[in-house]
Structure 1
Amino acid sequence: MSVKKNTFKSITNWLHLWLGLASGTVLIIVALTGSLLAFEADLEPVLFKHYHIVDPVGQRLSLDSVVTLAQNVYEGQKASRIIVHAEANRSVEVRVGTKGENNKGAKLVYVNPYNGQILYKGVYTKKFFQQVRSLHRFLLLGDTGKIITGISCSICFFLTISGLVLWWPANKTAMKQRFKIKWNASGKRLNWDLHAVTGFYLSIFLLVVTFTGLLMSYDWLEDTFLKIADGKQAKEAKVKSPSKGKEIKAGIYQDVLQQTNQIYSGDGFVAFVVPAKPSQAITVTKENTNAMVASSDIAYFDGKNGSLIKKVPFEKLTLGAKLRKMITPAHTGSLLGWPGKVLALLVALFTASLPISGFLIWLGKRKKGKKNSRPARAVQAAV
């Protein structure tokens, strides 16, 4: 039995070592960019204050007027997404043009809702944090990069599990040493403790981050996971506008915004997803600031006259639908607010350090192996 255990641990150790070395560079890039993305919502209005923060002076323009101003910047392009923040000093974000997973071709306009000034206009994917996100998810290589990061995420998931196997002590005496870092030890021992002991304490969070990363990388895995949760294939809701005709009611966006704030209280931002055709419903989500865990409520409005079709608060969603909405917040740490973001930052920085500390452990063992082999060669030469 002990021989089998030793063989299993040796194979695990070999895989842990070489897979870690092979994916090290990608893991460092993904981890460091992930640490930035965890605070995207907080850093964006600070780093780019000139087009996020406005002076709330005078009467606020209607949302329809703001959207029209944004659409006029790119003639022939229709708004596809609108974000209205609860804070009075925040600009309105309007995304126009093509939409999709990578938002290829989409343009972005920030408008001052008090005087109609265009604060920013540009390609959505060229924004700083969108570039960081593209580096995080695709290594700026498109579909090829997505394959590489998906494989690296799979490796990181395996490394976390195999690391726990290697951390597991062989006896009770060793058990006491595996739960604390020996700060006054030699450099090699301290590096091993930081790699293994810290890894043990953060392993559960690293498993959550890597597993949610796998769900975001592989559609088949996400579909399977959500199907298990709901007992059937989870599908995105597609709601049609019940009214007939092609004419769109004047002031529809302002009306929808007011209805949404009446239906769902709280100070969260409101996000519109505007369909390409008015025959489909406008989907509106509002951040639920009253919930202990970050969530959002949904409402569907007629795309022609703005009347409420149905409302779907977060607590009424199926388990699969709830999990779908929680994947990204769980991955970034925002699911638990600031404590979750700080924890995500620590996990990301630790993940970035793992390939380095792991390489130093391997280098130390390699040098030790060479030193031990010298006396053996000397004896052979003497004989």
Structure 2
Amino acid sequence: MIISVWRYSHLLLAVSSFLLLTLASVTGIILAFEPIADKSQSYYVQGSDTMRLAEVAPVVREQYKDVQKLSVDDNEFVILDWTDTAGVAQKSYIDPRNGKILGAVKEQSAFFNWVTAFHRSLFLKETGRFLVGLSSFLLILIGLSGVVLVIQRQKGILRFFSHIERVNWAQYYHV
């Protein structure tokens, strides 16, 4: 009877967390391509990784009068927040050697925004984050119940890593 309780709890936990785990995995795979797409932009300047922002600041101040912020992003692109002569706020990638604008900083695409929101909270905000956290906790319980089942099958914790008896192919390969 004890074996069936552990077996059914293991099965119930696995089935209940399957859907959330699958959705989180697929959206995680999609989100893994966002840094690749960002890195492939041609805003990297050779030698900029050895320059300090203190060296870049005087060059930028000469060309742009109203500079709010000078920063480096995760891809080692230099970003300048500034206001043009018309008073419009700009955010641009620049060449740190000469201050030349290489292109405008684009916001995260709507698709990646959508996938990120779905991945984090299933569009349910705090409730969705709780559900994703709960499915992660259920995964831990699945692993623990699986360990208990292996201990029972091997007839003790001391024989945990010993040879597995082959009953049928499905049980053998799942263990």
For normalisation by structure 2, the TM-score amounts to 0.59
Which amino acid in structure 2 is aligned with residue 16 of structure 1?
Answer: H
- Match for residue 176 of structure 1 among 148, 157, 163: 163
2: CA distance, partners of 1:118 / 1:176: 62
Percent identity over the alignment is 18
Superposed CA offset, 1:209-255 (max 9, x none): xxxxxxxxxxxxxxxxxxxxxxxxxxxxxxxxxxxxxxxxxxxxxxx
For normalisation by structure 1, the TM-score amounts to 0.31
List 4+ stretches of structure 1 deviating above 6 A.
57-61
Q: Give the deviation of 1:117 after TM superposition.
A: 2.6
1: CA distance, partners of 2:130 / 2:147: 26
Tell me if 1:121 matches 2:106.
Answer: yes
Q: Which runs of 5 or more structure 1 residues have no equivalent in the other structure?
A: 1-5, 73-77, 96-108, 197-383
2: CA distance, partners of 1:10 / 1:93: 60
Residue 47 of structure 1 is matched in structure 2 by 37
Tell me if 1:16 matches 2:2.
Answer: no
Residue 224 of structure 1 is matched in structure 2 by none
2: CA distance, partners of 1:146 / 1:52: 36
Which amino acid in structure 1 is aligned with residue 72 of structure 2?
Answer: I
Q: Give the deviation of 1:152 after TM superposition.
A: 0.7
Q: Give the deviation of 1:142 after TM superposition.
A: 2.1
Q: 2:106 is paired with a residue of what secondary structure? A: strand
- Mapped contact 2:13–2:141 kept (Cα < 8 A): no
Residue 134 of structure 1 is matched in structure 2 by 117
1: CA distance, partners of 2:6 / 2:105: 52
2: CA distance, partners of 1:110 / 1:176: 62
- Mapped contact 1:54–1:91 kept (Cα < 8 A): yes
Residue 72 of structure 2 is matched in structure 1 by 83
- Mapped contact 1:134–1:140 kept (Cα < 8 A): yes
Matches within 5 A, 1:287-326: none
Q: Give the deviation of 1:54 after TM superposition.
A: 3.1
- Mapped contact 1:51–1:120 kept (Cα < 8 A): no
- Match for residue 29 of structure 1 among 1, 14, 23: 23
C-alpha change, 1:57 and 1:137, in structure 2 (3 Å) is: closer
Q: 1:177 is paired with a residue of what secondary structure? A: coil
Question: Aligned residues, how many?
Answer: 152
C-alpha change, 1:51 and 1:160, in structure 2 (3 Å) is: same
Q: Which runs of 5 or more structure 2 residues have no equivalent in the other structure?
A: 82-90
Residue 112 of structure 1 is matched in structure 2 by 94
Q: Give the deviation of 1:48 after TM superposition.
A: 3.5
C-alpha change, 1:92 and 1:24, in structure 2 (3 Å) is: same
C-alpha change, 1:31 and 1:49, in structure 2 (3 Å) is: closer
- Match for residue 141 of structure 2 among 158, 165, 168: 158
Q: Give the deviation of 1:11 after TM superposition.
A: 1.9
C-alpha change, 1:176 and 1:57, in structure 2 (3 Å) is: closer
Q: Give the deviation of 1:34 after TM superposition.
A: 3.9
2: CA distance, partners of 1:144 / 1:83: 35
